[in-house]
A and B are shown apart, each in its own frame.
Chain A
Amino acid sequence: MKVEREELKGTISEMKRKGYDYLVKITAVDYADKLEAVYVLRNISESKDEIIEVDMPATDAWVPTIIDVHLSADWYEREMGEMFGIEIRGRRAGRLLLEKWDGVDPPLRKSFTWSAPYRNMDSPQ
């Protein structure tokens, strides 16, 4: 199910009222032309999963927080934000969840470049 990011929080609260009260995972995928945040929700009593996808341009990457709907979103949002460079709006910017990354690109974006093999052999140290 595709949702606009402005409607994301409303949709997820609405689904929670309909019984989808368990958040399985928040993650993201970097398709070269866009970023997509993925929310997996579950209706435990009926054993049904629903996947909500939110598209956004890579240059303007943000999603609203859903932490006040699902408390479990806390770590998932922080992880996604750090690994994909997605801003989570509406929550206090806290400490980094994972260790600090000193590179330029967020690690799980496709623009992240791997170091070349046999590197650093000419440097003095």
Chain B
Amino acid sequence: MPVTRINIGPVHPSTHGVIRLEVDLDGDTIVDVEPHIGFLHRGVEKLVETRMYMQCPPYMEKLDYVAPMAFNEAYVSAVEAAMGIEVKERAQYLRTMLLELQRIASHLFGIGTLCNDLGQMFTVFMWAFKDRDIVLDLLQEAAGSRMFYVNMRLGGLNQDIGPEFHGHAMKVMDYMERRIGEYEDYIEKNPIFMERMRGVGVLSAEQAKNLGVTGPVLRASGVNFDARKNNPYYIYSKLNFNPKVLTSGDNFARYKVKMLEMRESIRIVRSVLESLPGGDALGMPVKLRSPNPANRIATSSRELPRGEVFMYLVADPQKPYRLSIRSPNFINLAALRHMSKGARMADLFAIMGSLDLVMGGVDR
């Protein structure tokens, strides 16, 4: 049968961003997929070379607009490593908690849109967005804004949490725990969902490592790597925390890892709030001139909701000389081609949805 080539995108409701997929089909079976990226390329890596260190966080946040605080934190930690700045103890606790809240918000987004892509139109999506909004309320209370926070400062944060935060957070965590159970009930008892998730888009552990995929995609294939556990930062080494690893490597495992991680995040948030030390959490003011770098080359490796971000920073006294950003979305998308060969056309967006891509991070 002759191969049919179809184009999907650049603008398509299921691509969650601007991407064009060139799909070769034999009947209904995918022979090859070639993603065309670059539609959202802003040249951030070049742009930051012309900006002072603390002018860059707003650019960093747009690289992953579903988990902006986490991306910003990865950048700020690279600058801190270059400058030799120690993060204050209370700020370490608060950053850990905020990053985990960000992870819950981001995974809710990922699961909601995944269910939409699978034709479970809008129930889970609406639930997830409603619940994400509640987590965003918490983040707003802690950081001062809902979407783009820019709340990381060298050595700390822009503001401490208020006296009411503890009570609000505990209440939200109880609520979220109950809701996650409801999601699992609703989603996993749906035979259509399970049919389209189990055994589709399988990636073995060996393939996953060879393709360089990261985050929940890597752990769903049975590779036990989580930067929070393997290269612990902040207080992760003190927490009793276990990365969630599954072995089947299919769409369902990638979904399930996110669910399990949300539960783990709730536990982390609770234990951080219970052991929060006193003192000061404020970082240096933005206008303060950065000191001369202690290390010319600094790296930071951070586990974001979508996977590991690796920052390679060559530092100059006032500006980054070169900042190379390894975005989890970029390399997870590169694996799409290998994962979807032989799958059905209708499964392509199930696979893509399970990768949970944000195009802002793919193109940079």
A98/B225 contact (C-beta < 8 A), A72-B334, A108-B46 known? no
Q: Cβ of B223: which chain A residues have Cβ within 8 Å of it?
A: 44
Asked whether any CB of chain B lies closer than 8 Å to the CB of A62, the reply is no
Complex alpha-carbon distance, A72 and B224, angstroms: 18
Complex alpha-carbon distance, A88 and B334, angstroms: 18
Among residues of A, the one whose C-beta sits closest to the C-beta of B322 is: A29
Asked whether any CB of chain A lies closer than 8 Å to the CB of B314, the reply is yes
Which residues of chain B (207-253) have a CB below 8 Å from chain A? 209-213, 223-225, 230-231
Complex alpha-carbon distance, A99 and B211, angstroms: 23
Q: Cβ of B212: which chain A residues have Cβ within 8 Å of it?
A: 22-24, 70-72
Asked whether any CB of chain B lies closer than 8 Å to the CB of A21, the reply is yes
Choose from B43, B211, B231 the contact partner of A72 (Cβ within 8 Å): B211
Which residues of chain A (74-121) have a CB below 8 Å from chain B? 74-76, 83, 95, 97-99, 107-108, 112, 114
Taking the closest CB of chain A, its distance from the CB of B138, in whole angstroms, is: 32
Q: Is the CB of A70 within 8 A of B38?
A: no
Asked whether any CB of chain A lies closer than 8 Å to the CB of B187, the reply is no
Asked whether any CB of chain A lies closer than 8 Å to the CB of B301, the reply is yes
Q: Is the CB of A114 within 8 A of B310?
A: no
Q: Is the CB of B324 within 8 A of A99?
A: no
Among residues of B, the one whose C-beta sits closest to the C-beta of A27 is: B324
A74/B312 contact (C-beta < 8 A), A21-B209, A30-B322, A108-B45 known? no
Asked whether any CB of chain B lies closer than 8 Å to the CB of A49, the reply is yes
Q: Cβ of A30: which chain B residues have Cβ within 8 Å of it?
A: 322
Q: Is the CB of B334 within 8 A of A24?
A: no
Q: Is the CB of B45 within 8 A of A44?
A: no
Q: Is the CB of B225 within 8 A of A72?
A: no
Q: A interface, how many residues as a size bin?
A: 20 to 34
Contact with B along A1-32 (1 / 0, CB 8 A): 00000000000000000000111110111100
Taking chain B's interface residues, is the majority helix, strand, or loop, or is none over half, making it mixed?
A: mixed
Choose from B43, B211, B225, B324 the contact partner of A38 (Cβ within 8 Å): B324
Complex alpha-carbon distance, A21 and B213, angstroms: 12
Q: Is the CB of A38 within 8 A of B312?
A: yes
Q: Is the CB of A49 within 8 A of B301?
A: yes
Q: Is the CB of B230 within 8 A of A47?
A: yes
Asked whether any CB of chain A lies closer than 8 Å to the CB of B140, the reply is no
A99/B331 contact (C-beta < 8 A), A29-B322, A30-B322, A44-B223 known? no
Asked whether any CB of chain B lies closer than 8 Å to the CB of A56, the reply is no
Q: Is the CB of A114 within 8 A of B38?
A: no
Complex alpha-carbon distance, A71 and B339, angstroms: 13
Complex alpha-carbon distance, A40 and B297, angstroms: 13
Supplied contacts A97-B37, A108-B322, A112-B46, 15 more A-B pairs, CB within 8 Å: A25-B310, A25-B326, A29-B324, A30-B322, A38-B324, A44-B209, A44-B225, A47-B231, A49-B231, A71-B338, A97-B38, A98-B38, A98-B363, A99-B41, A107-B46
Closest 3 pairs (CB-CB, A-B) = A72-B212, A98-B38, A99-B38
By a beta-carbon cutoff of 8 Å, the part of chain A in contact with chain B is 21-25, 27-30, 38, 40, 44, 47, 49, 51, 70-72, 74-76, 83, 95, 97-99, 107-108, 112, 114
By a beta-carbon cutoff of 8 Å, the part of chain B in contact with chain A is 34, 37-39, 41, 43, 45-46, 50, 209-213, 223-225, 230-231, 299, 301, 308, 310, 312, 314, 321-322, 324, 326, 330-331, 334, 338, 363
Residue contacts A-B, CB under 8 angstroms, 29 given: A24-B212, A24-B310, A24-B326, A25-B324, A27-B326, A38-B324, A40-B310, A44-B209, A44-B223, A44-B224, A49-B301, A71-B211, A71-B212, A71-B338, A72-B331, A74-B334, A75-B330, A75-B331, A83-B45, A95-B34, A97-B37, A97-B38, A98-B41, A98-B363, A99-B41, A107-B43, A108-B322, A112-B46, A114-B50
